[in-house]
Structure 1
């Protein structure tokens, strides 16, 4: 699920394009496919069996609601109770990985490790057991945005060093009790946590500190990830699971061939992707980040840069703490060099200084991104931890504000959701270019499709649909119905082959 996409692109079309691969369109035998869910978006049972309140429980219960139509995750897909059905549906697709996240406050209701909620821990043990029953590999996201509310109220969050030991304690409990997990994703989409949660403040915890706290958040996220990774390798050396960060990274192209636009695209790549990958793989922030933010900080008469400075020890502690490179990818950005803002304007946008346009269906962008990541950070195993496309962009384009509390008369029929042919073209195009990258020697080891079923798309409620299974949220029974895209994935799992020489049709989302 790539949340920022909802703010920037509500409708997309693409011209026919042919992909001509160097191979026969067959994925390597060891290549793995998976699908995914996250706790707050699917589980429901928000206050049952000892679960504590999370920042998303608190955020979505505000009045007026920050979410479209006042939707919440109180019930969601009811997956807390129906996890066996959902895991069985994933198994029927034929995928090899089932990725899910754990709700921190379901394990530690207050966020502190002085009390472990046994019912919550037992639940996730049962989830792992059920995944293994179908010979799938459990992949666990330790943190998918749902910080315990108590920690926030105590002044401990992703902008404070005090969070790090609590995140390590929580992670240790999970790792110790779930030894069968095959992949650990420490933190999902840190850019969204920091940019949207602490920069422009449109997701929980809703703090607006554009160009200031989002950088502090990035600093703490990286140190937190590294601390958990070091703990994992030191205390659990006999475990064979792999661990990394799951960072969202889109491909960025210059809008024109002008040197200024080319420079702008490079700059934005470092702000959007390098901010999290560069410290992990190369050490320290990218130079352009340090330069731009320091220059604008000093121009505004600040005594130091708004970007926190890593100490030599912190650089050493963060660099190299990964077992693979994990990326969430959804679209391509076309960027143009922007106008320098006055020094009294403090914002991330002023620091990056670009003007963007977007294309959801630009499948060759994933090839260019994978190539760039390999050139920039070296030859590593790359796991695409999210790849997907949501339905309902045109529907949202008819809505003037994301804060409506009652639904407009515009209705989309269930059949249109289920017959999601456009999404098949989307998956096929992107996967063909991933195959092209593999053929050219880039070490992509797997794709995890976002997501298994329609769920709560954060403040857009149940109105954006990324699922391979359709859910009618107006029906109390919340039936899971297989979409056409699910049938496509089943067939791909059976043959492991794509015909990438046929014309890829235009995408015109409902």
Structure 2
């Protein structure tokens, strides 16, 4: 049934009008288009100019390696040295903003504010100034997965003192860059930080204390985010006048049939609301449903208290309402079901055992054999509607959305993916969702965490065999440029990729 629904929606998206009439859809006035990267994924220069080791430096240098093909981010796209080319690419695309992240260990090598690395500060000053030189808005993520290894030795995000450590780092970067940065993302994707890094061994730092560490991390991440928000709101916002928010990743969890509606709701509570509800709900705190489930499971398992740490009443109020926008990272949808076999399937306490569901996706959602991102645009629409209805229609900024495929410049799958997802985003806007901007992941190919360089998300292809990491625009770059230039979505637009993208003027024609 779900696959038939997807096929029907795909047909509607491609042929929205009766007959052969060609429809071009418009984005609202003031809607912003941008693209994104993250420090460890692109910068390289892992130990240059005073930068210390991050948890991803540490993990990628382990032997035997735990990253596909033993890849590392030691050089990656070498954006530390090639940032001017990166800005040139954003200019070629004609985008409104560029979202990038700060390397904590490049700015504070000890992890603490006792040493501020001037070379690292200068790098980010140079990047910000280069963007502003061409009227590109810098959107800065304070933390995107690469914690200093020194802080990890002290427990990292499982240590409640990280609230103060992150607050100190945030305070410093607001002071250093806030005169020019007006969009701040505090923390990127709490779920991946906490579950995959602390409750499992998928992401750095591979703590893998399942069923416990992910929940300690979740509380600390939320309070640390709130700490940064309040510092900015009380100390810096009066003079700097920017916006500050968190980016929460979310797949849409669709019930596999009517019998699994409750199971899908549980999945949404654990995978989305665990991080969104304390901030965006009127009451704050973790959702009552997951509190009850984890408390009951913990008692059955012999724990003397719930594995989910409680917020104090003061902490509930401290976290509640601490985001000017709802930052949303989204890539795909998954089907959810629950049957008798889930009981005892997860042998040890874990978030997945607490959730008590099975998850799968349909291979038929793949756009081609070379893609890894399953395209389910109707799930994106349902997610946007869910956020609107759950939280009173907060302003949403899509901070990541994109398509993982293989190498090659003729990336028609990526073009199709972007068009499908932008079309349902427009549907959501027409249905009342307050969506302010869209960020394509990613500007260029980069180090994709435990997958290394085996998956490519870039609008620009990066040649990793070349010492200067040559960046070349894919077809999707031409298409995205046209969307940003016209503020229109035209499924029939076919770019002339034989013309250098830099030679295309503001009117879309070749400069002469």
- Sort the Cα spacing of 1:344 and 1:65 in 2 relative to 1 into closer, same or farther, 3 A: closer
| 1:8 paired residue number | none
Contact 1:300 1:344 in 2 (8 A): no
For structure 2, list consecutive stretches of 5 or more residues without a partner in the other structure. 1-5, 18-22, 366-373, 494-512
4+ residue stretches of structure 1 with deviation over 6 A?
Answer: 20-23
2:349 alignment partner in structure 1: 346
| 1:14 positional shift | 6.5
Please give the per-residue CA displacement for 1:117-139, whole angstroms capped at 9, x wherever unaligned: 01111110111001111111100
Match for residue 208 of structure 2? 208
Task: Verify the 8 A CA contact 2:67 2:451 in the aligned structure 1.
Answer: yes
> In structure 2, the residue corresponding to 1:252 is in which secondary structure?
strand
Residues 464-509 of structure 1 show CA distances to partners (whole Å, capped at 9, x for unaligned) of: 100000011122221100000000011112221114699xxxxxxx
Counterparts of residues 125-144 of structure 1 (less than 5 Å):
125-144=125-144
SS at match of 2:156: coil
Q: Paired residue for 1:390?
A: 404
1:14–1:361: 8 Å Cα contact kept in structure 2? no
Q: Which residue of 2 aligns with 1:57?
A: 57
Give the superposition deviation at 1:341.
2.7
Q: Given that residues 182 and 240 in structure 2 are in contact (C-alpha distance below 8 angstroms), is that contact kept between their aligned partners in structure 1?
A: no
| Pairwise CA distance, 1:106 | 0.4
| Aligned pairs for 1:173-322 within 5 A | 173-178=172-177, 179-236=179-236, 237-258=238-259, 261-282=260-281, 283-322=284-323
Give the equivalent residue in structure 2 for 1:403: none
**Where does residue 455 of structure 2 map in the other structure?**
464
Residue 448 of structure 1 aligns to a residue whose secondary structure is: strand
CA distance in 2, matches of 1:369, 1:382: 12
Structure 1 spans left out of the alignment, 5+ residues: 1-12, 393-413, 503-510
Q: Which moved more, 1:140-149 or 1:491-500?
A: 491-500
d(CA) in 2 for partners of 1:26, 1:328: 23
Residue 83 of structure 2 corresponds to 83
Call closer, same or farther: CA 1:363–1:254 in 2, change over 3 Å: same
| Superposed CA offset, 1:32-78 (max 9, x none) | 01001111010000000110111111110001111111111110000
Alignment of 1:109-128 (within 5 A): 109-128=109-128
Q: Tell me, in whole angstroms, the C-alpha distance in 1 between the residues paired with 2:482 and 2:130.
A: 24
Alignment of 1:17-36 (within 5 A): 17-19=11-13, 25-36=25-36
Displacement, 1:209?
Answer: 1.2
- Which is worse superposed, 269-278 or 238-247? 238-247
How many angstroms apart in 1 are the aligned matches of 2:41 and 2:63?
A: 20
2:359 corresponds, among 339, 356, 372, to 356
Aligned to 1:366: 380
Give aligned pairs, total. Answer: 464
Question: TM-score, normalization: structure 2?
Answer: 0.88
Conserved? CA contact 1:25–1:498, under 8 Å: yes
In the superposition, the TM-score normalised over structure 1's length comes to 0.88
Computed over aligned residues only, the root mean square deviation of the Cα atoms, in angstroms, reads: 1.7
Question: What is the Cα deviation at residue 232 of structure 1?
Answer: 0.6
Offset at residue 345 of structure 1 (A): 3.1
Residue pair 1:55, 1:204 contacting (<8 A) in 2 also: yes
The 5 A counterparts of 1:385-464 are 385-392=399-406, 417-464=408-455
Helix, strand or coil for the counterpart of 2:273? helix
Give the aligned partner of residue 502 of structure 2: none
Deviation of 1:79 after TM superposition, in Å, equals 0.3
Q: What secondary structure does 1:326 align onto?
A: strand
